Structure 1
Amino acid sequence: MSDIKLYDTRAFTATFMPSDELNAILKGDIGKFFAVRVEDMYRHVHRAVPASRSTIHSCLFITEGEASIKIGSELFTIHQHEMLIVPAGQVFSFEENEVNKGYLCGFHTDFLLEKFGNSVVKDFDFLRVWGNPMIKPDPDSARFIEQVMHRLLFDYSRSGLRNPELLQAYLLALLCEINRVYRPVSVGNPTSSVAITNRFRELLFSMIRTKHLVSDYASLLNITPNHLNKTVKAMTGKSPTKWIDETILLEAKVLLCQTSLSVSEIAFEVGFGDSSYFTRLFKKYEGRTPTEFRRMIEKS
């Protein structure tokens, strides 16, 4: 992850966090953990949230209605008693004015590591960039998940992070409940193909600013470009080239939305010395130039 700049979650979270949570932001707690009701959050969302990236993992559980979030380049919609997980560092966006209820909690990896050690988060594939972000629990598991999220909200609303041990214990319980019903996208596919595809997506996530060629990633994986092409296309329905282009676009969108860098500076940040080529690539997928995209976001 060293090649990707992660933006502090406080500035983003402050745009929709209820006023009674702002004290936590000022104290610095929000960078470690927060919990809020979804319906309270939406009262403070006055515009769509454009392509963003946070340093925290986010867990959204819906109790009424539905919710849609774009995670990476894919749009996911969940309904009552379903969840979406947005891993730390992953690009996401969502629209305003959705009508739903539920719970949202976010936590930094360090919040668990300081209590349970370095290996705890590695057990949860849904916190990895290649994991399946959509969780569809059975009725009993959904009830347990809702109970744990309610308890997290209750304790956080009452005490903030003054008693982190209790929050850490309930958060670990939540992740274990999610893990029990988690289903990877690649069920039934050959283990080697799954491993290659997951590793490709992980490398792409961390190296997109410096490596734009399929051959770059094939070399890192010690396979031929042809093998990587066939494997990734079979597993995801998209070629490695398409994955690379979409990831570049996501990086650019985050920089356009979360920084004041010029288009030429952003082109350089995502690995293009030629800003005109970057602009053509952006318009090919987005239908507008980077400058037009930024103006659209500023007006929304």
Structure 2
Amino acid sequence: MDRPELIPILRPEDLNDFHYKTIEWQPTVSETKHKYYHVNRIEDFFQKLSFPLPPHRKTVHDIIYLKKGFSRRSKGLNKYDFQASQLFFLPAFQITEHEVMSEDVEGYFLHFDDQLFPFLPKNYLNETFQFFQLQSNPVISISEKSKVYIEYLLERLLGLYEDEKELNLNLVATYLLTLFEEIKKELPAERKKTKNAYFQITEQFKNALAQHIYQKQHVADYSKILNISPNYLNKCVKNSTNRTAQDLLNEMLTLEAKTLLKFSNLQISEIAVKLFDQTPSNFSRFFKSQTGFTPKQYLEMY
């Protein structure tokens, strides 16, 4: 049975109403531009932002780069503080909550859609740049040397976005890929290692889980999405993580349940039905088997 998402998944056209305090004041942008790509200086819009932003997902990837100030944002259930000369990279469909930005904040925000890169092989971004992966650390520190190049690229992307003429998406895609390569150079050596085919399929499975966990809660559903057999999917996950595909599916269900327990106003019985289509007692047994706590005990921790 299909179940509606309880944590909202925001498309580009939804973002203005979600981020800004009033619908009377919003940045004016072309719908065509905004669909695929958006960039702005944070300080130009900061006073109109409404913090904290509640848990949500986006259909686009986004980057926050700070030149000054600090911010606190979550990826999944983990919270991260970041500051000047650091960026926060959030892959599409990842659960996030944005708690705060300091009053003196300066920097850039941008989002972009995979559709900007039709010329790239499937899964190229995820396989080439580790920060696109759901499990990666979202905070990346930028060296003094690289700051010059990264800030130039962000300013150039902003200039293209603000140009009143028709936006050259091919040029935007080229600058974005250059930006990704500059960011990649800043990663510690252990975060750059080339991964094998097992790992790549496992990452595709994780990405699919993030997108479809409400509607699809069986491993066989995901093997169909990836066009491989359930046995081969399980083999890939086992070789990459020493866990089973079912383990990762259960982990995603648990993450979703934890997020709803922590941030939503839903009762435990409502989460049991809306997320799992189960009785509260069955949900409680599942949750305790995964976390060591009942849903009620987990709630009391917060």
TM-score normalised by L of structure 2: 0.69
CA distance 1:154–1:199, shift in 2 (3 Å): closer
Task: State which of 162, 166, 177 in structure 2 corresponds to 1:172.
Answer: 177
The whole-number CA distance in structure 1 between the counterparts of 2:4 and 2:188 is: 28
Q: Which runs of 5+ in 1 are unaligned?
A: 233-238, 294-300
Deviation of 1:166 after TM superposition, in Å, equals 2.8
CA distance 1:264–1:184, shift in 2 (3 Å): farther
Task: State which of 116, 126, 133 in structure 2 corresponds to 1:128.
Answer: 133
After TM superposition, the structure 1 = structure 2 runs for residues 88-99 of structure 1, keeping only pairs within 5 Å, are 88-99=92-103
Q: Does 1:222 align with 2:230?
A: no
The whole-number CA distance in structure 2 between the counterparts of 1:208 and 1:184 is: 33
CA RMSD of aligned residues (A): 4.4
Check the 8 A contact 1:16/1:41 in 2, yes or no: no
The whole-number CA distance in structure 1 between the counterparts of 2:72 and 2:58 is: 18
Q: Which amino acid aligns with 1:222?
A: N
The whole-number CA distance in structure 1 between the counterparts of 2:15 and 2:268 is: 22
Check the 8 A contact 2:262/2:299 in 1, yes or no: no
The whole-number CA distance in structure 1 between the counterparts of 2:180 and 2:192 is: 20
Other structure's SS at 2:48 match: coil
Task: State which of 249, 257, 261 in structure 2 corresponds to 1:249.
Answer: 257
What does residue 113 of structure 2 align with?
108
What does residue 66 of structure 2 align with?
62
Check the 8 A contact 2:210/2:252 in 1, yes or no: no
Identity %: 20
Deviation of 1:211 after TM superposition, in Å, equals 3.7
Task: State which of 155, 158, 162 in structure 2 corresponds to 1:153.
Answer: 158
What does residue 51 of structure 2 align with?
47
CA distance 1:13–1:255, shift in 2 (3 Å): farther
Deviation of 1:20 after TM superposition, in Å, equals 8.2
Check the 8 A contact 1:251/1:270 in 2, yes or no: no
Deviation of 1:8 after TM superposition, in Å, equals 1.6
Deviation of 1:203 after TM superposition, in Å, equals 6.0
Summarize deviations over 1:226-262 as a string: whole Å, max 9, x none.
Answer: x79x946xxxxxx9698445422266479959xxx99
Task: State which of 99, 117, 120 in structure 2 corresponds to 1:117.
Answer: 120
The whole-number CA distance in structure 1 between the counterparts of 2:14 and 2:141 is: 31
What does residue 8 of structure 1 align with?
11
Other structure's SS at 2:10 match: coil
Check the 8 A contact 1:130/1:202 in 2, yes or no: no
Summarize deviations over 1:174-217 as a string: whole Å, max 9, x none.
Answer: 112112223487689x989977985774465356444489xx99
Deviation of 1:52 after TM superposition, in Å, equals 0.6
